[in-house]
Each structure stands twice: as structure tokens, then as C-alpha cells.
Structure 1
């Protein structure tokens, strides 16, 4: 069934929001709203409610009651709802992609890719969730039996991110719902329209409203969610800084906590790489896809000095060929950054690098984009680790490239970071790549590829990149808790 875009439905008035709050029994003294802004134009396209702490608590209490019934719903029924949700994603992809593109600036072709790939992620959960619920017998004798059963966490809070709102939310709620949990979903204020689309599709698929509920707002709403007493799990995706605050807020309640945070993901190109031009094209895509706004985007590049000039020339040529412009045009590759305050941050990284000796090559073929949050794709060469661009997360269309002497120098520089999400090596032999990757403290390593996430593999960060695991079988197990049960035969003595 086709649906209307949330972007076309959000003219929610303050009076309407107040009436809704009053109908749920909340006293309304002051109604706080936040603007939804199209980053391609800088224009406000709607406003949404910042829900109060009382409203957050009320939703949580309803979910806690609903989860007690949901955990007993037959697996086949839970599965059918998520299968229907997946079908609705597929059927409504054009509308969903347009909403995503409009509210956070993702090019429309990439927005469609995200929705399409989300279907595959949910399918992985559908094919494997029963495995993590299966009880196991670890000992059985004539008088003693020991077994392990797996139970849902309870109510899971999902504080999600704006850069890949379908990916990072379904990583949590699809696995959580299938394993018997209820979900309190807080989308980013920069992707709340997409959050509304997700919520409506889940309801249309049959998921009860007291099993999945969305709360809207900004940082204060997220804090209210994180500090809830009685949560079974708290799953956050976002910046390292915000993740640390979330951890502090959750700590007094000893809640199970997972943090998917940022990265400063390095790539090393060895001199023996089979095709320098192909490597440059692959890495340019890994650095600038989604405007570089991904936790696993390539953020640092190290190139053997023997092929440095050849690689740099090919890399810059690729970047300058990217189409920058209106994200709703099908041939646009780079759109605006999602948040206007990030523009001066990126500019400061460029100025810092230039002042310390770097050379900048910036995209000059920008369309007229008055009012939008556009930053010219920029390549910084001759960089080093005194520069912010090689140490601090950029999270935008900006990359630094540094020449290195050998594997040892590359390895030392790749490890010179507080993050530990992904790393890549481009070279001729996979064993050489694996030898380097095993020396890096990262959750995921790549050979001759980058910026790739598979639903079949565990997705985890180390050090400043986070705690816990999503995706893969390890990720599914994050949503259940084991319970050991011992059976001892009664004594035959009177």
C-alpha cells in the first residue's frame, strides 16, 4: 500500500500537540517544539514536539506492561509482523527515501540504497533469531540436569542516529522485537520524520503500540530515556561525547548498555597494490559516500611513498568528478551536511591543516545552493599527525592523505588514535593485509575494500568507538539474557 510522506504531514500545530498531551493526562504549562530543517535549503519544513520526561515515563510504563504479553506471543506471529514490515519497506521505498533525503540531505540514490539494504538486514534477523532463543542442555545424568534458557531483556531503549536512520534503528528494534522485547525508540531530531515512517510501518505490520513506541525530542528527551529505571537494555548510536553522557545517565540503574560511537577509520595502501587507480576510486567512495557522514567512513589515508603521487592524482580526480548538488536529483553523489553547526568545524580542520603545511584540493563545481549546508569536498595532502584532520573525527566531505615509508610506520600511525572501529589495507596478498589488521585494535578489518557493513558479521567498536555488539549472531545475542536452571532428582530416601 502506498503511503504519503511524513514530510508532507508534519504541520502539527502547537494547539494540536497540546490537545494530544492533555488527552493523555499530562498537564500542559509550556509546549516545547523543535524545527525540522531541510539541509539542502536551510528552510524549516515543520515542527515537532519535544516530549516531556513525564511522557517518556508514561510510554515506558505502557511498554513494560505490554512486553509481559509480547514475550509470550508465538514466534511465528512475531515473525509474520516483521516479515510484513519488511514488505512494507520494499513497497514504500520511493516515499521513504524522499523523506530521508529531505530531512537530512542524503542523496536520493543513496537513500534508496539504505532502505533496500535494510530489508536484507531484517531478513538476516528473521532467518536467525530462533537460534539465539533455543535452550541448551549442558549436563544430563541419571540424577542431575543442567540447562540454559534465554529470555528477553524486557523494555529496550533505542536512541538512534540521523546519518543512517534505517540501518542503526533496525539493528536494534528488529532483533529486539523478534526476541520478545518491547522497544522505546528515540530517533535523532535530525531524522524524526524517518522515525515516524518506521513507527507507522511497524504499526501497519501489526506490532502493538504497547510493544513499540516512539518518543520525539532533542537531547533532553534522550536524557530522560537514558535515565529510566527498569530498562532491560539501552542501545545508543551517536558521537563519542554524547555516548559518554548517556553512559553517565544510565550508570546508577546498572542497565545493560551498548554504545555505537564514532571512528577515525584508517586506510593503508601498500606499494604492491594491484591497481592504484582502482584503489583510489574505491577509497574515495569510502570517504565521501553519504557526504562522509558515517562512523565507518574512511577518515585517514596512508600511502606508501613509492606510489603516493600516483595515488594522490587518481584520488583527487575521482573526488572532483563527484556530482555535488540537490540531494533529490538522481545523479547527485554529494549533498549537504545534515547540520549547519558542523560547517565551521570542518572549515577549522582545513585551516588548521593548511597552517601546518598541508595542501588543499577542493571541489569547485558546486551548483548554486543558497541557504543549504554545503561544504566543498576537500582533499588535504602532505598531512601529518600534528593536524586535527588526522586525529579528530571529521564526519564530513573532508579527508587527509599522508605518505609513509613502510608497513611499520603505517601500522604505528593507524594505531595512533583513541578510536577503534574499522581499518582497511589495500595490497596484493590477503595474508599481508591480515597480518597488519590483526595488529590493529579495531572491531572490523577490510582487505581491498572499506566502509562496508555486513549483517552476517558482528559490528563492534573498541576504545572510543563504543561498547557491545550489533549485527551477526553475536549482535542477536545482545537482546537476550541467559538463565541457568538445575534439576536434581528427589532423593529415594524416606
Structure 2
């Protein structure tokens, strides 16, 4: 009997569905099938590929409520958030349906009259994709859509905690006319999928979203075969509130940014630096609104924050809170109140009197916690914000254009929001620097990792007789 995985609802730990793991032999067979499909799919006219992707995007909107329900049931986020994620995921498919028709080459003036120099772009080959559980629709579509638009075929490994959304998305892709072997899914552990993808010679590209330690392993193993790789890794996003910021606006944007998916996002603010002149007022306004947020089952109405993904996630967040408290951090509500709902639910908390050595300021918390540290000079805030090996996203609030431009120039991050707590968009490049990875997803840049450039020099172009 095949090994199985139970997909659980984080709200009550009930079993939603039981799936068979895909065996290694099955995965390798699927990769072989993807290779054969690649020979056909790469030759499909770009306009036809575009039309099929657009049909897929349309089907996603027709099944929007169904997809959102799956996202909430297996991932825990509120239904309203899940609807927003479907819109976001749809945006990637819609965008790359258009980009499929814009894979341009170029001609280069030759250095001799009897030559032409031409550069064209071709799909890289079979892609292996590995995605996390926190955005089961968005993370996979921003890999599948550009890969298919480029003419690649792709084998997708969603997180075992949230595979159902990917499964349904792949089914809709097939319904849209994209060949079954061109886009496939597997049910496997990240470790097994990573090992198979990195060692199978047929996989020519690996795209991964997840933790930095796992990403480093994939980079090392992929290097043995010089595979094309894109890595979107960990984050530790700073959020700076300068003394001239619009405080009410900054508070609202902070909450919108921080509590998406109960704080379980790689780009949500992990640590806040607030100017000493406005610190107390900002904290007061923020705490009042944070404590008014309703925590509960994501399928219930009027819920602002759903459960964390599992008990392991809860334990990590509590460890961060306790570490801060033991080192002098002041909690806006007691540990008992934070845990009062039980299960995978945590009440959100603001922690003040933070120092840079506390865990929430050094490690990705992935939970509904807002740690705040004072600063006096803008240079100090920049130094604190950049004091990390990560560089995915950063945010700041100021109404002074000089301060805004200075911060953008000095913060070493791939995605920056100036008076904007939600900068991500399908038409813009997303990705980090330093140990947050390399390569970009979204925008015109997002299709480039799935393409190889080929330089053709045509000689003997003398005037024919």
C-alpha cells in the first residue's frame, strides 16, 4: 500500500483529504513524460500558448470561490484573504498569457558586411518547482505561468500541508487545453522532491520558494549538473516609521502588511523601528487596533486572523515571544491571553522595549507578533534594518521625499514599500538579495529565468550572383 499523507484543516485539525505519496518511480516517469511533452509544447505557436493560458486564467475566475475555500480549509487563512489570493494568482496567469507573445529576440550590427548577428530566446526545458504552504495558489502560479508561457513543461511539488489548491489549479490548466504532461503535480516531501529534481538530468531548471537552509542545499546539489535555478528564500523584513509619517495611515498599513495569513508570509514586517518622537503615539494607536482584531476559523464571517498552520508553527511563535519577554520586552497582552483560544490560534500581540539581540529581531517569526524598537537618527534605523543576512522586503513610512529617497537608496532589499504595506503585484519583479535568494518572479523579468539566449552568426552574405 502506498504511503499516504493526511491534509489537515488548521482550524480544528480535522482531516480534509488523504492522498497517496507519489513514488520515486512515478516521479521519474512523470519527468520523462514532461520531457516528451516539451518537444511538442515548445513548438506550439506563442499565440496559441497565450490563448490556452488565458483560458486557464478565465477558468480560475469561474472557480474563484471553490479555490478560495480550498485555500482556507487547508491553509487556515480567512476566506476573504483567500479570495484575494485567487485574484493575485489569476493575475500571474493573466500577465504571462500576454508575455507569451512578447518573447523577443534582437539583431546586432555585425563587424563585417558579409555577416548578420541574431539573438533568439528558447525555453530552457523541463522545470521542477517546489513551493511552500502559505500561499498555495500564488506561489505555484507565478512559477507555472511563466514556465508554460516560455514553452517549458513543469512538474510541481506543492507543500504536503496544502496540496489541494495546486491539484485543482493543475486540473483547470488541463481543462483549458494545456497538455497533461506539460504541467503535472506530485505529492512528495520537499527533501525527496529536491533530491530527485537535482539528480535527474532531464530537469534543467529548478525554481524554489522556501527557507534559506533548504535553498542552499538545492543550490549546492543543482551546481553538480549546472542547472538553471531561481531561489526565493527567507525574509526578515524591517518596517521603519519616521517622525514625519502619517501615523494613522502607517498604523493601518502596518496591520494590513503584518497580519496577512496570521503573519505567516515571507515579506510581512518582522521587526519595526519607530522614531522616538512618535513612538508612544504610534504604539498606542497600533495596539488599540491590533487588540480589536478578531481571531477565529477562517471560514467564519468577520474574522480578521485565522489559525497558524500547525502546532510546530505555534511553538516557534511562542518561543520568540518568550525570548523577547525574558530579555526585557513588554507584551501588550499576557501569554495566557495570547494562548487563550487554544489549538493553532494565537491572539496578536505588540511587543515594545525590544533590542536587536531578541529572537523576533534576528529570526523570521511567522506569526501575529509585532516587535517594536525605538531609534533616534535615520542612519541608526538604516543600520539596524540592514543588520541581517536577509534582503527580501523592507518598508518605510515618511512624507519627506528626501528621507524617502535616502531610505530607498540605503536599504539593501529586493522589494521596497514607501508608504505602501502591500507592494507585491504580478506585473512587478519580486525577489530578494543576499541570502534571500536570486532571480525574480513577476513582471517582464519573471519569464527570463525560463529562457535561454542563443546567438546566431550568419556568414557568407556576399551579394549573390
Residues 169 and 361 (structure 1), Cα distance of their counterparts in 2 relative to 1, 3 Å cut: same
Say whether the 8 Å CA contact 2:88–2:426 is kept in structure 1.
Answer: no
* Cα shift at 1:46: 2.2
1:232 aligns with 2:204: yes
**Equivalent position of 1:134 in the other structure:** 104
1:453 aligns with 2:435: no
| 1:17-32 alignment, distance < 5 Å | 31-32=2-3
1:35 aligns with 2:6: yes
Say whether the 8 Å CA contact 2:114–2:462 is kept in structure 1.
Answer: no
Partner-residue secondary structure (3-state), 1:469: coil
Where do 5+ consecutive residues of structure 1 fail to align? 1-29
Residues 78 and 360 (structure 1), Cα distance of their counterparts in 2 relative to 1, 3 Å cut: same
Aligned residue among 303, 315, 325 for 1:332:
303
| 1:50-129 alignment, distance < 5 Å | 50-129=21-100
**Equivalent position of 2:136 in the other structure:** 165
Aligned residue among 442, 447, 459 for 1:471:
442
* Cα shift at 1:488: 0.9
Return the alpha-carbon distance in structure 2 between the equivalents of residues 296 and 471 of structure 1. Answer: 15
Aligned residue among 413, 417, 438 for 2:388:
417
* Cα shift at 1:113: 0.6
Give RMSD over aligned pairs. Answer: 1.9
Q: Compare 357-366 and 441-450 and name the one that shifted more.
A: 357-366
Partner-residue secondary structure (3-state), 2:187: coil
**Equivalent position of 1:8 in the other structure:** none
Q: Compare 210-219 and 181-190 and name the one that shifted more.
A: 210-219
TM-score by length of structure 1 reads 0.90
Return the alpha-carbon distance in structure 1 between the equivalents of residues 223 and 384 of structure 2. Answer: 34
Deviations 1:358-404, CA, capped at 9 Å, x for gaps: 0012388889855x311221211110111011010111111210010
Partner-residue secondary structure (3-state), 2:107: strand
Say whether the 8 Å CA contact 1:324–1:366 is kept in structure 2.
Answer: no
| 1:8-23 alignment, distance < 5 Å | none
Deviations 1:30-74, CA, capped at 9 Å, x for gaps: 521111111000122222122222111110001001101111111
Q: Compare 337-346 and 308-317 and name the one that shifted more.
A: 337-346
1:147 aligns with 2:115: no
Where do 5+ consecutive residues of structure 2 fail to align? none
**Equivalent position of 2:247 in the other structure:** 276
* Cα shift at 1:301: 0.6
Aligned residue among 18, 22, 25 for 1:47:
18
Say whether the 8 Å CA contact 2:49–2:100 is kept in structure 1.
Answer: no
* Cα shift at 1:424: 1.3
Return the alpha-carbon distance in structure 1 between the equivalents of residues 198 and 351 of structure 2. Answer: 39
Return the alpha-carbon distance in structure 2 between the equivalents of residues 226 and 48 of structure 1. Answer: 24
Partner-residue secondary structure (3-state), 1:295: coil
**Equivalent position of 1:250 in the other structure:** 222
* Cα shift at 1:129: 3.0
Return the alpha-carbon distance in structure 2 between the equivalents of residues 95 and 123 of structure 1. Answer: 19
Return the alpha-carbon distance in structure 2 between the equivalents of residues 394 and 366 of structure 1. Answer: 15
Partner-residue secondary structure (3-state), 2:427: coil
Aligned residue among 440, 443, 453 for 1:482:
453
Aligned residue among 162, 176, 180 for 1:205:
176
Say whether the 8 Å CA contact 1:323–1:333 is kept in structure 2.
Answer: yes
Deviations 1:57-115, CA, capped at 9 Å, x for gaps: 11000100110111111122211111111111101111111111000101000000110
**Equivalent position of 1:267 in the other structure:** 239
Partner-residue secondary structure (3-state), 2:100: helix
Say whether the 8 Å CA contact 2:131–2:208 is kept in structure 1.
Answer: yes
Say whether the 8 Å CA contact 1:50–1:221 is kept in structure 2.
Answer: no
Say whether the 8 Å CA contact 2:239–2:394 is kept in structure 1.
Answer: yes
Partner-residue secondary structure (3-state), 1:162: coil
TM-score by length of structure 2 reads 0.95
Deviations 1:207-248, CA, capped at 9 Å, x for gaps: 111111111122343222333222221000111122122223
Return the alpha-carbon distance in structure 2 between the equivalents of residues 214 and 453 of structure 1. Answer: 26
Say whether the 8 Å CA contact 2:56–2:93 is kept in structure 1.
Answer: no
Say whether the 8 Å CA contact 2:88–2:425 is kept in structure 1.
Answer: no
Return the alpha-carbon distance in structure 1 between the equivalents of residues 72 and 192 of structure 2. Answer: 24
Say whether the 8 Å CA contact 2:352–2:371 is kept in structure 1.
Answer: yes
Say whether the 8 Å CA contact 2:50–2:98 is kept in structure 1.
Answer: no
Say whether the 8 Å CA contact 1:176–1:183 is kept in structure 2.
Answer: yes
* Cα shift at 1:350: 0.7
Return the alpha-carbon distance in structure 1 between the equivalents of residues 462 and 96 of structure 2. Answer: 44
**Equivalent position of 1:398 in the other structure:** 369
